[in-house]
Amino acid sequence: MADLYLLTGLTLPQGVAHESLSGTVTCFVSDCWPGMSRTQTMARAKRRGLRLSFRATAPCPSGETGVFELRFRDQTVECLMLARLQRIGKRSVKHRQTGRTNVSRPPPRDSRQISLF
């Protein structure tokens, strides 16, 4: 079984202004939350019509947080962001669940902060 990666933060590379992001990417970023799995991140991007790829910038040992390049692509534009993902070790077969797993849910939004995204 592959390792699990959890999102801890998103940032733009140096010299890239957030105003240069497309509306689709901005909406995607506002949908993300800390603790979101890599699989959930890719599913959200796909729902928004984005093709998303992750690439590690350096090896990341289990239990540590590493920096990954996120490349978003839609029909017209490609965008690069940096994501910090925490690598969670492999689960043993005996702890594997047979039913549906509990997914990370987004935290409740504060209505006063919606305009920030």
Tally the domains of the chain: 1
pLDDT band at residue 25 using 50, 70 and 90 as cut-offs: confident
Q: Which amino acid is at 20?
A: S
- Evaluate whether residue 100 is within a structural domain: no
H-only helix segments in 1-117: 23-31, 38-47
Residue type for 42, please?
A: M
- In this structure, is residue 97 part of a structural domain? no
Widest pairwise Cα distance in the chain: 48
* pLDDT grade for 100, boundaries at 50, 70 and 90: low
Residue 107 in any domain: the answer is no
Nearest residue to 84 via CA among 106, 107, 44, 54 = 54
pLDDT at 99: 52
106 lies in some domain: no
Q: By mean pLDDT, which of 36-45, 53-62, 68-77, 87-96 is the weakest? A: 87-96
Q: Which domain holds residue 13?
A: 4-91
